[in-house]
A and B are shown apart, each in its own frame.
Chain A
């Protein structure tokens, strides 16, 4: 499975405006759902965050959840130059977000596979802060593709 094939330019925001956890989740969810169901999804993601932050350190967070509001696996990418207070495990602001939302039942557990894949790609994106380089969503996808082809 390739992550780049799941990325869509319209679901990548390289200049997030939110600065707080709830706001950034709302901003990211807005790329999947803009209606009232988006509140339900944000609420689910916040419940997951209550267990322990999905901010895994070094400026990266991978919020995730299963929801009926998703009819297929969705990946949203967000980048914040200023950083977001996300209560990450290293207490540092988060600059790169990968939001993963899956329907409750997905064939072959793509949800788990995608989570693992994103974690691997994030390690590469963090090297020399590669994630800071793309200026457009298409460039970001191209970078992820380049990384995956080199793995």
Chain B
């Protein structure tokens, strides 16, 4: 897995976390369970996000944002048995020969990586 792919995956995981902490129901349940946070968790996560974004090329980051806003679920997905983990269409076999590079699914445009 390339460093770029790893950063995009970390970004996606961070965005899931931000989404959860922005969700009032989730936050209420977290507090009920007894999880305590030092500061505003969303603010803390956004700071971490800013730091992470600095490690990603602007072109890739713009693509990430565009894909997220389009699908509202995930921007980067694994290739599972030769199929895109986002739209489930067949990924051309020639792409699998360049696994270290950043690729997009030719059908849905999501970033794809090989597990």
List residues of chain A with CB under 8 Å of any chain B CB. Answer: 35-37, 40, 43-44, 47-48, 50-54, 56-57, 62, 65-68, 89, 104-105, 112, 115-116, 119
Contacts and interface: CB of A to CB of B under 8 A. Distances in A.
Given A51-B41, A68-B78, 18 more contacts: A36-B1, A37-B115, A40-B6, A40-B10, A44-B14, A44-B17, A47-B13, A51-B38, A66-B17, A66-B20, A67-B13, A67-B16, A68-B9, A104-B16, A112-B25, A112-B29, A115-B29, A119-B33
Interface stretch (B57-65, B69-77, B88-96, B99-107): B69-77
Given A47-B14, A51-B45, A68-B76, A57 B37 contact: no
19 contacts: A40-B9, A50-B44, A51-B45, A52-B36, A52-B41, A56-B34, A62-B33, A62-B35, A65-B13, A66-B17, A67-B13, A68-B74, A89-B36, A104-B16, A105-B73, A112-B25, A115-B29, A119-B33, A119-B34
Chain B interface size range: 20 to 34
Given A48-B17, A50-B44, A89 B34 contact: yes
A115 to B, nearest CB: 6
Given A66-B20, A68-B77, A105-B73, A56 B13 contact: no
> Do most interface residues of chain B lie in helix, strand or loop, or is the interface mixed?
helix
Interface-central residue, A43, A51, A65, by most chain B CB under 10 Å: A51
Interface-central residue, A36, A43, A104, by most chain B CB under 10 Å: A104
A52 B29 contact: no
> Do most interface residues of chain A lie in helix, strand or loop, or is the interface mixed?
mixed
A66 B32 CA distance: 19
A44 B14 CA distance: 7
Interface in B29-54: 29-30, 32-38, 41, 44-45, 48
Contact of B33 (A44, A53, A56, A105): A56
| Nearest 10 pairs of A and B residues by beta carbon | A52-B37, A56-B34, A119-B33, A66-B16, A44-B13, A51-B41, A51-B37, A52-B36, A104-B16, A89-B36
B17 A65 contact: yes
Contacts of B78: 68
Contacts of A57: 34
Given A40-B6, A56-B33, A62-B33, A68 B12 contact: yes
